[in-house]
Amino acid sequence: MTLSVTERSAPAKRLLATLLPIALLSAPLPLLAQPDSNGTVDSVSGDLPLEEIQTFAEVFERIKRAYVEDVDDRTLLRNAMRGMLSELDPHSAYLDKEEYQSQRESTEGEFGGIGIEVGMENGQLMVITPIDDTPASEAGLMSRDIIISIDGTPTEGMSLQEAVTLMRGDPDTTLDISVLRAGEDSPREFTLTREIIRSESVKHELLETGYGYLRISQFQSRTPEQAREALERMAREQPLDGLVLDLRNNPGGVLQAAVGVADLFLDEGLIVYTEGRIPDNELSFSASAETPADDVPLVVLINGGSASAAEIVAGALQDQRRGVIMGTDSFGKGSVQQIMPLGNGEGLKLTTALYYTPEGRSIQAQGIEPDVDVVRGRLEVAEGSREIREADLEGHLRSQQAPRDQEEVSQRLREDYQLGEALNLLKALNVVDRRRN
């Protein structure tokens, strides 16, 4: 293929003269081309698309000359870079200074917003998961809700970064969003009040005597340390006969944090590995021998809002036969993004690798399938079908063995069918184990 600059207009040639040296200097050495005696440039291997660079220069020049409004060069070039990255996958993006700062705030775990993790699917803005104890979760937003407008602005054609910027803002300001939920014909309207989002990633409690509950809402840098402290605190209160690890609606987070949490339950073997195009992106993580909870019977709860790092933990525990995975299929985000600072204070979020479970399963667009399917629901007792027991009588004596918040926990188990089934499964596993012994 040859490229002759004499066939283009003067503005296109000027832009081409700028772009071509940049493209050639950034190419691998074997791809560098030399002009022939006629002044044309050949691509040695055909890998450097010089003709497309020339076409880009022509498009740039025609926009500058004929577009209905004047557009400055900086805006056109920024938009070109945004388009170049957004067409790769839903998670790669060009970040201006404000967007780059927003990404840093998210990593640090404190920002003004409604507490929601979003992504793009088939060009639609979709809720991956609402974060625990935030305006989004309290309002009832759910995983896989499609956001069709933000403060009256339709999201069709909107980039992911634009949507995130619109949803963030100062605390105590309101945000109106419309969402379309699967199986419903009419959109739902939500008015939310922004707050400073400081999500506590780890919570724990005893569901019943000997049965613990560990909730991880997202993976931050200190999550493994906090989870270890929670496990040790529960074990000090009483020996654990079983544990529910709740990863539902967990959007992921820091890779090393996911590895650290999985390592709390594994004393050997592979946890996760990544594969990319360059050696720096090919990583492997294995469990260490020092493990605080390597023998506690374990049930892991997942659902469609469990993504990325949450899927790494669930996949590792499933492949290592360490626990029973219960719930519904996870989200299926198995790609690794790196935030790369640029010299001008802006940044680049680029997908650089894919996650794989210990048995070599790709999480990307597949997700983790539970060992036991249990859909979300609520236990309802039909009127008139419940027998009267001692606990129903006014003034009955309380059991000295029961936790003080037994009634509150029982109510939670009735409202959370998946959690109740996880507890029942742990009890069954203990019964079978005792009979074997």
Read off the pLDDT of residues 217-258 as tens digits, 9 standing for 90 and up.
Answer: 999 888 999 999 999 999 999 999 999 999 999 999 889 999
Would the pLDDT of 402 be above 50? Answer: no
Q: What percent of the chain has pLDDT over 70?
A: 78
Q: How far is CA 54 from CA 8, 11, 12, 41, 59, in A?
A: 8, 12, 8, 12, 9
With a CB cutoff of 8 Å and minimum separation 6, the contacts of 292 are: 228, 231, 232, 235, 264
- Confidence category of residue 435, pLDDT binned at 50, 70, 90: low
What pLDDT, on a 0 to 100 scale, did the predictor assign at position 106? 60
Catalytic residue of the set 92, 159, 178, 308: 308
Q: What is d(CA 367, CA 408) in angstroms, rounded to the nearest whole number?
A: 33
Cβ contact 261:229 at 8 Å: no
pLDDT tens per residue across span 255-268: 999 999 999 999 99
Catalytic residue of the set 319, 330, 335, 349: 319
Amino acid at 54: Q
State the virtual CA torsion across 421, 427, 429, 432 in degrees, nearest 10: -130
Cβ contact 298:247 at 8 Å: no
Apex 201 CA angle, 199 and 203, nearest 5: 115
203 catalytic? Reply is: no
What pLDDT, on a 0 to 100 scale, did the predictor assign at position 110? 61
pLDDT, the chain, mean? 83
Residue 14 in 3-state DSSP?
A: helix
What pLDDT, on a 0 to 100 scale, did the predictor assign at position 27? 45
Which tokens is 32 given? 């560098």
What pLDDT, on a 0 to 100 scale, did the predictor assign at position 338? 87
Q: What is d(CA 318, CA 326) in angstroms, rounded to the nearest whole number?
A: 10
pLDDT tens per residue across span 165-209: 899 888 999 999 999 998 999 999 999 999 987 767 899 999 999
- Confidence category of residue 437, pLDDT binned at 50, 70, 90: low
What pLDDT, on a 0 to 100 scale, did the predictor assign at position 242? 96
Stronger pLDDT, 6 or 242, i.e. the higher one: 242
Q: Do 93-198 and 202-373 fold alike per CATH?
A: no
319 catalytic? Reply is: yes
- Confidence category of residue 18, pLDDT binned at 50, 70, 90: low
- Confidence category of residue 97, pLDDT binned at 50, 70, 90: confident
133 catalytic? Reply is: no
Q: What is d(CA 44, CA 399) in angstroms, rounded to the nearest whole number?
A: 83
CATH number of 202-373: 3.90.226.10
Catalytic residue of the set 333, 335, 349, 416: 333
**Helix, strand, coil percentages for the chain (3-state, nearest 5):** 35, 25, 40
Longest dimension (CA), the chain: 103
DSSP state of 90: T
Task: List residues bridging with 338 in a β-sheet.
Answer: 350
What pLDDT, on a 0 to 100 scale, did the predictor assign at position 341? 92
Mean pLDDT of 56-83: 92
Task: List residues bridging with 95 in a β-sheet.
Answer: 347
Domain ranges of the chain: 2-71, 93-198, 202-373
Multiple choice CATH, 93-198, 1.10.3720.10, 3.30.70.1020, 2.30.42.10, 3.40.50.2300: 2.30.42.10
Which tokens is 179 given? 């969402």
Mean pLDDT of 387-416: 60
Q: List the end-to-end C-alpha distance of the chain, in Å, as a whole number.
A: 76
pTM above 0.85, yes or no: no
